[in-house]
Amino acid sequence: MNITPQALIFDLNGTMIDDMHFHAKAWFQILNNDLGAALTWDEVKVQMYGKNSEVLDRIFGKGKFTVEQVQKLSVEKERRYQQEYFPHLQLIAGLANFLENARQANIKMAIGSAAIPFNIDFVLDNLNIRHYFEAIVSADDVTDSKPDPETFLKAAQLLGVEPANCVVFEDAPKGVEAAQNAGMASVVLTTAHTQEEFSQYFNILRFVQDYNNPFIAELLPVRV
Ligand SMILES: O=P(O)(O)OC[C@H]1O[C@@H](O)[C@H](O)[C@@H](O)[C@@H]1O
């Protein structure tokens, strides 16, 4: 398939940085040690997609916590995650180059993440890459997170690009599903999931380990 997108939309966690193990660890502690959920490691990994409030609703049922309690738990989870992950914080191989090349090719770029702004700021500011992104859609900007298409549709709208002309970078099955629901093609980073876990989706252009895969550069217009 030969596709030159007008816009690139990046999921954040597991897609720009290889940090999903640290999210699972922080969730495991909060859900089990603090809230007594008794979930296995694998159950935590399956349940922890979407907004933090959605994760808590899914596991404990809607209405178990007040809005204030959810907010407190959400920030506490991210505080623990940030503390553990900070020494490892770096972009996935080849991404720094790709962002720069895409910018020089005038491709619009956005972030579409289920993370709260606290975490998005943590990544963008510590890695000094905020200037690449014309739009940022976080957990706080949507009613329903992935697999609902709202995150990616909002990002496309903010960039002023039709969904069909956007390519989404994702690492999670629910994220690829969200892109599919938004009518967008996706490239899958195999940081946290195996290819088999994506078998039901038909919007995947390629599976890549990192941004040094030659397919990634082919997404940008050929330089003359
Ligand atoms: O949408 P992204 O960028 O992959 O972020 C998803 C993750 O964001 C984290 O903040 C949530 O706590 C995780 O549960 C979730 O999986």
Name the residue with the closest Cα to ligand 1, atom 9.
115
Write out pLDDT tens, residues 84-134.
Answer: 999 999 999 999 999 999 999 999 999 999 999 999 999 999 999 999 999
Name the residue with the closest Cα to ligand 1, atom 10.
115
Write out pLDDT tens, residues 7-29.
Answer: 999 999 999 999 999 999 999 99
Asked, for residue 224, whether it belongs to a domain, the answer is no
Same domain as 194, residue 105: yes
Q: Name the nearest CA neighbour of 112 among 78, 162, 151.
A: 151
Residue ranges making up the domain that contains 67:
20-87
Write out pLDDT tens, residues 150-172.
Answer: 999 999 999 999 999 999 999 99
Asked, for residue 2, whether it belongs to a domain, the answer is no
Q: How many domains does the chain have?
A: 2
- What's the CA-to-centroid distance between 20 and ligand 1, angstroms? 8
Q: What is the ipTM of this complex?
A: 0.94
- What's the CA-to-centroid distance between 146 and ligand 1, angstroms? 10
Same domain as 30, residue 126: no
- What's the CA-to-centroid distance between 71 and ligand 1, angstroms? 15
> Using CB atoms within 10 A of its CB, is residue 104 exposed (0-12), middle (13-18) or buried (19+)?
exposed
Domain C-terminal end among 87, 111, 134: 87
Predicted pLDDT at 224: 60
Give the strand order in the sheet containing 7-10: 135-137, 108-112, 7-10, 166-170, 185-189, 204-208
Residues in the ligand 1 pocket, defined by CB under 6 Å: 11-14, 23, 48-49, 52, 55, 77, 113-115, 119, 172
- What's the CA-to-centroid distance between 55 and ligand 1, angstroms? 10
Q: Name the nearest CA neighbour of 91 among 169, 143, 153.
A: 169
